[in-house]
Amino acid sequence: MSTPPVVLTVAGTDSGGAAGIAADLAAIGHLGCHGACVVTAVTAQDTTGVHAMHAVPIDVVDAQVGAVLDDLPVAVVKTGMLGTPTVVALVADRLGHLPLVVDPVLAATSGAVLGDGSVMDAYVQELLPRALVATPNHDEARVLTGRDDPPPDLAARLADLGCAVVLTGGPEWRPGRRATSCTDWVCLPGGRPEPLAHPAVATSADHGTGCTFASALAALLAHPLAETRGHCPHPDAGSPPADLTADVLVSACLRAAAYVTIQLTTSSTWRLGRGRGPVAHTPPAQPRHT
Ligand SMILES: Nc1ncnc2c1ncn2[C@@H]1O[C@H](COP(=O)(O)OP(=O)(O)O)[C@@H](O)[C@H]1O
Ligand SMILES: Cc1ncc(COP(=O)(O)OP(=O)(O)O)c(N)n1
């Protein structure tokens, strides 16, 4: 195997091994990249919720960033739980010259707040304008825009900040009806939102799905970006790539959603924990060809 592209995840830990760094490093590795990590926060978390949180001191976050940048040719940075506006600003400042896939984590599905209003403001003002791609879910998009609009309108509004947007959507369960599909909305700055639909997996083992999708997308973008920009983008290489075409983004989104679907199918028969179980982080099973 040739040298893999490096994807750096900047995120929090989940003691239950479902979301955050655990999900990120598994997806990044499964999709042929080397994962490096900067830990921003430690959470005491399980399948039922988040029980405690500790923000890693900013000088230690900064030292982790420095250690990675000094030694490894980072192709893409993926961000998850950043936790404080200071960490959001540090990422924009120290990593803003690299292609950034920003998952603007503000809350866990269990309801726990992982980023408050000041973090939300920092995303809008400092990080999203420098990102290559943002991957909010519908709730995060509503909070970031302050509007309660349909997903395609929110995707277009966020893309006006200057980044491509993949607004993710899990299955919509309505009383008496089983959802059969999920729709993600993709929008490039100045472009029209396009729906990408894929089959829904019926499962309650989906904790960590958003982290897994964003990391899979980062890994799948790292391959073409490392190829066109060279394997070792120097920290001073300049502005983020203008080479993210709609075709490249859509293809990476479809493949990231297919990876998530395979992992959700695997974990759908597991019985782990008392709440929403983890999405599988075991090596992916081959998709079935009928
Ligand atoms: N039950 C499911 N079956 C298939 N795909 C799913 C399912 N739930 C979520 N996904 C997909 O996983 C990705 C992230 O989902 P989403 O639920 O929006 O993340 P989050 O955990 O941040 O809310 C999207 O591509 C979404 O369509
Ligand atoms: C440490 C940590 N980071 C992120 C999340 C959110 O995870 P996500 O996959 O977006 O969604 P849920 O799994 O919470 O539905 C988290 N819970 N913990």
Least Cα distance to 3 among 230, 189, 202 occurs for: 230
pLDDT for res 238: 43
Q: Which atom of ligand 2 is nearest to the CA of 112?
A: 17
Ligand 2 in contact with 99 (CB < 6 A)? no
pLDDT for res 237: 42
pLDDT, averaged across the chain:
92
**Ligand nearest, relative to CA of residue 197:** 1
Q: Which atom of ligand 2 is nearest to the CA of 108?
A: 14
Q: How far apart are CA 204 and CA 62, in angstroms?
A: 37
Give the pLDDT means over successive 10-residue stretches in the chain (290 positions): 95 98 98 98 96 97 98 98 98 98 93 93 98 97 96 98 96 73 96 96 95 98 85 45 83 98 97 96 76
Any idea where the domains of the chain sit in the sequence? 6-267
Between helix 209-229 and helix 20-30 the angle, nearest 10°, is: 40
What does the DSSP 8-state code read for residue 132? S
Ligand 2 in contact with 215 (CB < 6 A)? no
pLDDT for res 256: 98
Residues 6+ away with beta carbon under 8 Å from 143? 106, 120
Least Cα distance to 16 among 251, 277, 225, 248 occurs for: 277
What does the DSSP 8-state code read for residue 163? S
Ligand 1 centroid to 262 CA: how many Å? 12
With the most atoms of ligand 2 within 8 angstroms of its CB, the residue from 109, 119, 260 to mutate is 109
Domain 6-267 in CATH: superfamily? Ribokinase (3.40.1190.20)
- Which parts of the chain are beta strand (E)? 6-14, 34-46, 49-55, 74-79, 100-102, 133-134, 164-167, 181-187, 194-199
Ligand 1 in contact with 260 (CB < 6 A)? yes
Ligand 2 in contact with 81 (CB < 6 A)? yes
Model's pTM, two decimal places? 0.95
Ligand 1 in contact with 81 (CB < 6 A)? no
- Is-contact 14 241, C-beta < 8 A? no
